Amino acid sequence: MATDKIYARNEGGVTWLILNQPEKRNAISLDMISHGIILLKEFASEKKAKVLVLAGEGKIAFCAGGDISEFDQMRSNSKDAIKYDREALKFFDLLYNIEKPTVAMVRGYCLGGGLGLAVSCDIRICSEDAQFAIPAARLGLGYDLELMERLIELVGPSYAKEMIYTAHRYNAVDALKMGLVNRVQPKSTLEQYVIDYTINIAKNAPLSQKSAKIIVSELRQIPTERNMEKCKASIERCLNSEDYLNARKDFLEKREPKFIGK
């Protein structure tokens, strides 16, 4: 279902996907999830879109988690919750598996499912006033298996268990120390930093970035399940590309390379 509570805007090679429910600290509803899936698929198929930034509208919150006002109707029992969570996981998984760079710009609150969105992105850049938490234990909920796995990859099992056990809110300094975020910026410069950061990413070779994402994903698997042929094929595609040929010429002739993803 289309909704104005989540929307995309394109700025050059950068697509900004904005959670737009600031009156609820950008808590994500089922309509937002459904429309978000459509917007992510459009980003994935758009050749001119090189990198995605996920952000929350306003200056108070990135995302405060699921829209709890829907829970009595849509997650009141395990059967309904499974249906709800299955749709939400489609959104998280699509974000996680897109073969283009993704960046979460986290300003203010990043809680529960909002943290799940952040850890489903490749990179997290937050403001100095950001707060991170998983309040599942205050609601009697279990945290999603796939999202927990992504969290553990970043912070390790001990911090992941501490976050669940305590439901404690961690500040930006804690998050950086834990490995939950890549960068911390002052509130006043966060957005411009992310703009400059992602413009730089968009200038670089898409095939190199896609190859890196494929290889990192495969190396996460246990050795017997890694698709090393897929990794090698992605590297060979880079070596045989027009981009590599032209970039070599550009380097020798001292020109800024322009990549087309071929």
Task: State the Cα–Cα distance between residues 243 and 238, nearest whole angstrom.
Answer: 8
Percent of the chain with pLDDT over 90: 75
Q: Which of residues 215 and 77 earns the better pLDDT score? A: 215
SS3 7: strand
pLDDT confidence of 209, banded at 50, 70, 90? very high
Residue with the larger pLDDT of the pair 162 and 261: 162
Minimum mean pLDDT among 6-15, 26-35, 137-146: which range? Answer: 137-146
pLDDT at 181 over 90: yes
What residue spans define the domains of the chain?
Answer: 6-202, 205-252
The answer to whether residue 148 scores a pLDDT higher than 90 is: yes
For residue 97, pLDDT over 90 is answered with yes
Q: What is the pLDDT of residue 253?
A: 85
d(C-alpha 142, C-alpha 42), whole Å: 32
Q: What is the pLDDT of residue 79?
A: 64
Give the global pTM.
Answer: 0.92
Return all residues near 99 (Cβ < 8 A) that are at least 6 apart.
44, 210, 213, 214
Extract the tokens encoding 59: 């200056």
Residue 225 one-letter amino acid = E
Domain 6-202 belongs to what topology? 2-enoyl-CoA Hydratase; Chain A, domain 1 (3.90.226)
